[in-house]
Structure 1
């Protein structure tokens, strides 16, 4: 941001910039199912990591990988919105541009899965965790509830949000 930059006669503050960034992030979460899938996967990975004995450096790798996927999805969304704004009718070049941006997200997500496997693949610890969840009724109920909440977060809750955003 250019220092002293004014919008509508008002000098923008750092707080304005953070507010705008947060609004953009939450807009992406509300309107993009794939972003909600990435966030849900990230929450599960970060929640279960301590039970698998993840080290601090491994957490660093996981956090950077998660940030890469989420940022790629946000860039893809921004690219798609810009393309849709620039070209109202079908254009093969715009279509390829959007495909390339989506492909970049796919590459990030696939390699994130590889990182997750490399860091989290501990068969004995995973088996012990599964046994703990399945044999403890409270943990089992909480896990099932988390899956239901994740399903609603990904597929149901944001229904109609896009229409409400477009009305404003």
Structure 2
């Protein structure tokens, strides 16, 4: 397979800036989604509790990883939903299954996040 000069994957400042701009646009779009706003609000609440209960560095690291993971997974779920909606406007069982699976992954992670939060905060009460 022959690669043209424009197809070569070379690192350039312009390409890097574009990548960050696209990622920033993605975050802006994500912040318009109601479910992500719920996760942001929950993260703000947990962060406030973290300051009140003087979490240790390792506890903060765990909380930050869990919150970032939750938000990232919600963004991936939204991307899957938007892609499925783009591909088909009519109801198709496999499209519905794809959306349900992505939402199920978010629910599973959210439940794990709550359990982790309880492990960290209950001893401090």
Q: In the TM superposition, what is the alpha-carbon distance from 1:13 to its structure 2 partner? A: 2.1
Shift of 1:51: 1.5
Q: C-alpha separation between the residues in 2 aligned to 1:90 and 1:12?
A: 41
After TM superposition, the runs of 4+ consecutive aligned structure 1 residues lying more than 2 A away are 2-5
Query: Structure 2: where are the runs of 5+ without partners?
Result: 1-7
Question: Retained in 2: the 8 A contact 1:38–1:69?
Answer: yes
Match of 1:3 in 2: 9
TM-score (norm 1): 0.65
Relative distance call for 1:107 and 1:48 in structure 2 (3 A) is: same
Q: How does 1:13-162 map to 2 (within 5 A)?
A: 13-30=15-32, 32-121=33-122, 122-123=124-125
Aligned partner of residue 13 in structure 1, secondary structure: helix
- Structure 1 gap ranges (5+): 6-10, 124-168
CA distance in 2 between partners of 1:83 and 1:29 (Å):
20
Question: What is the CA RMSD across the aligned residues, in angstroms?
Answer: 1.7
Number of residue equivalences: 116
Compute the displacement of 1:12 (Å). Answer: 4.5
Task: Give distance in 2, aligned partners of 1:12 and 1:110.
Answer: 41
Post-superposition offset of 1:3: 2.7
Does the 8 Å contact 1:80/1:98 carry over to 2? Answer: yes
Greater RCO, CA 8 A, separation 6+: 1
8 Å CA contact retained: 1:4, 1:12? no
Offset at 1:4?
Answer: 4.2
* Cα distance in 2, alignment partners of residues 74 and 67 from structure 1: 11
